[in-house]
C-alpha cells in the first residue's frame, strides 16, 4: 500500500460515525466543527435526538477555543442512517465507537467492511482492546487503526494512535496526521497492551487512591483533593517523568534517584492491591456522593466541560512559552 492511498485529512469531506454514545457524539461534534459531513448510525431509537442535543450543548466550548468560527452548529451536515451500510457507503472515512466488547466490535467491523470500498480507512475509539484482536477478521486489516480519545473527546487534546500487527505503517503515519488536523495531540503507542498507554497510567493512580481509601489513609474527598491541588497543577504542564527529572535539581532524574531511590521504591511498591469484588464496589458506591459533594453527575459534567475551556487555554499558552532547544 502506498502513502498516496491514504486520503489527505484536509480533503476528507465526510465521515461515518458508528455508535453515537458519549464518545461518538463527541467525535461527531468535532467533525462538524471542522466542516465535515457526518453520516451517523446507532441502534438506539432516540440516538439522533440525543446526538443533536449533545452537539448543541458542546458547541459553545469549541467556538470559544477557536476550533470553529460558527456560533451555532450546522446540523444539516449531520444525518442518521437506518443501517451501518447506509451510513458508511458514501463516507471518506469510518469512525467506530461501539461497546467495549471484542465480539460486538468484530461483528460491527464486518458490517462496515461489507459497505465500503477497499481503500477506505477505519479508525476505532476502543479504550483497551488491542487492535490486532479487532483486525483479525477484517477484509483489509492493513487499513484499520485505533485512534483512542479521552472523555470528553471533543475537548481533551490527547488521542492514542495504536496499530495492530497488520496495520500498514503508512496508515499509522496518516492517523497521526489526521489527529493533528483535528487539533489533537497524538501519541504513538508502539506496543499493544490492554488499556493502551494512558489508561494504564490513569488506573495505576485510581488503584492507589482506592488502596489508600481501604487502608484508611484519608477520606475519599481528601484523596481527590490531594490529586487536584497537589498533582494536577504540575501535570497540566509536564508529565511524571519530567516532574521526577526536575525534582533532582541540577542532578536531574539520576540525582533524585541516587538520593531518594529507596524511599521512592517503597512509595511505588503496592501495599494493598484492591480487588473489585462486591464488597469494594458497594464501598465505592457509598462514597461516590461524598466525592461528588452531593451534586448530580450532570451538574459536574457541565461544570467540568465549562472549566476545561479555561484549563485548555492556559495549557495552550504554556506550550508557547515552554523551553525550546
Distance CA 127, CA 19 (A): 14
Kindly provide the b/e burial profile for residues 210-220, where b requires at least 16 CB atoms within 10 angstroms of the residue's own CB. bbbbeeeeeeb
Orientation of helix 278-291 relative to helix 198-215, angle to 10°: 90
Instruction: Pick the closest to residue 26 from 44, 14, 13, 38 (CA basis).
Output: 38
Closest by CA position to 9, among listed 184, 159, 182: 182
What is the per-residue DSSP string for 251-279?
Answer: GHHHHHHHHHHHHHHHHHS-S------HH
pLDDT at 289: 85
C-beta atoms surrounding 34 within 10 Å: 16
pLDDT digits (tens, 9 = 90+) for 161-220: 999 999 999 999 999 999 999 999 999 999 999 899 999 999 999 999 999 999 999 999
**Which H/E stretch holds residue 64?**
helix 47-64
pLDDT tier for residue 54 given thresholds of 50, 70 and 90 = very high
Distance CA 192, CA 167 (A): 12
The pTM for the full model equals: 0.91
Which residues, including other chains, have CB under 8 Å from residue 259's CB and lie 6 or more apart?
A: 248, 251
Cβ(218)–Cβ(291) under 8 Å? no
Sequence length of the chain is 325
| Mean pLDDT (the chain, rounded) | 94
- Cα separation, 252 vs 258, whole angstroms: 10
What are the percentages of helix, strand and coil residues in the chain, rounded to 5? 55, 10, 35
What's the mean pLDDT in 228-244? Answer: 93
Instruction: Please check the confidence at residue 325 and state whether its pLDDT lies above 90.
Output: no
22: pLDDT confidence band, cut at 50, 70 and 90? very high
pLDDT tens column, 58-84:
999 999 999 999 999 999 999 999 999
The percentage of the chain sitting over the pLDDT mark of 70, rounded to a whole number, equals: 98
Q: What is the pLDDT of residue 290?
A: 86
Whether residue 252 is predicted with pLDDT greater than 50 in this model: the reply is yes
Q: Is the pLDDT of residue 249 over 60?
A: yes
Read off the pLDDT of residues 104-122 as tens digits, 9 standing for 90 and up: 999 999 999 999 999 999 9
* Mean pLDDT within 222-247: 94
* pLDDT at res. 270: 86
Task: Please state which CATH number belongs to domain 3-189.
Answer: 3.40.50.720
> Do the first three CATH levels of 3-189 and 198-294 match, i.e. the same topology?
no
Q: pLDDT value at position 2?
A: 42
pLDDT at residue 143 greater than cutoff 60: yes
- CATH number of this structure's domain 198-294: 1.10.1040.10
Q: What is the arrangement of strands in the sheet containing 185-189, beginning at the earlier edge strand?
A: 78-80, 37-41, 14-18, 93-96, 121-124, 144-149, 158-163, 185-189
Task: Give the start-to-end residue ranges of the domains of the chain.
Answer: 3-189, 198-294
Maximum Cα–Cα distance across the chain: 63
Amino acid at each position: 500500500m502506498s502513502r498516496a492511498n491514504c486520503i489527505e485529512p484536509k480533503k476528507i469531506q465526510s465521515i461515518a460515525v458508528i455508535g453515537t454514545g458519549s464518545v461518538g457524539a463527541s467525535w461527531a461534534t468535532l467533525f462538524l466543527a471542522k466542516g465535515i459531513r457526518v453520516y451517523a448510525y446507532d441502534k438506539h431509537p432516540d440516538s439522533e435526538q440525543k446526538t443533536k442535543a449533545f452537539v448543541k450543548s458542546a458547541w459553545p466550548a469549541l467556538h470559544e477555543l477557536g476550533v470553529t468560527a460558527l456560533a451555532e452548529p450546522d446540523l444539516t451536515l449531520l444525518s442518521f442512517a437506518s443501517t451501518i451500510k447506509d451510513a458508511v457507503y458514501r463516507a471518506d472515512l469510518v469512525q467506530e465507537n461501539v461497546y467495549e466488547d471484542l465480539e460486538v466490535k468484530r461483528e460491527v467491523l464486518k458490517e462496515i467492511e461489507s459497505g465500503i470500498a477497499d481503500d477506505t480507512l477505519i479508525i476505532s475509539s476502543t479504550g483497551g482492546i488491542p487492535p490486532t484482536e479487532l483486525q483479525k477478521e477484517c477484509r483489509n486489516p492493513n487499513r484499520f487503526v485505533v485512534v483512542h480519545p479521552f472523555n470528553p473527546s471533543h475537548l481533551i487534546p490527547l488521542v492514542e494512535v495504536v496499530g495492530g500487527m497488520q496495520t500498514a505503517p503508512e496508515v499509522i503515519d496518516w492517523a497521526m496526521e489526521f489527529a493533528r488536523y483535528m487539533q489533537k495531540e497524538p501519541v504513538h503507542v508502539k506496543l499493544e497492551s490492554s488499556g493502551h498507554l494512558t489508561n494504564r497510567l490513569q488506573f495505576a493512580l485510581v488503584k492507589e487512591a482506592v488502596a489508600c481509601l481501604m487502608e484508611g489513609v484519608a477520606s475519599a474527598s481528601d484523596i481527590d483533593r490531594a490529586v487536584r491541588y497537589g498533582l494536577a497543577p504540575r501535570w497540566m504542564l509536564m508529565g511524571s517523568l519530567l516532574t521526577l527529572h526536575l525534582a533532582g535539581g541540577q542532578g536531574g532524574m539520576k540525582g533524585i534517584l541516587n538520593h531518594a531511590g529507596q524511599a521512592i521504591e517503597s512509595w511505588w511498591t503496592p501495599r494493598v492491591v484492591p480487588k473489585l469484588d462486591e464488597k469494594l464496589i458497594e464501598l465505592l458506591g457509598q462514597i461516590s456522593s461524598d466525592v461528588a459533594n452531593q451534586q448530580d453527575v450532570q451538574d459536574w459534567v457541565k461544570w467540568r466541560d465549562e472549566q476545561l475551556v479555561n484549563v485548555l487555554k492556559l495549557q495552550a499558552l504554556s506550550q508557547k512559552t515552554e523551553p525550546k532547544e
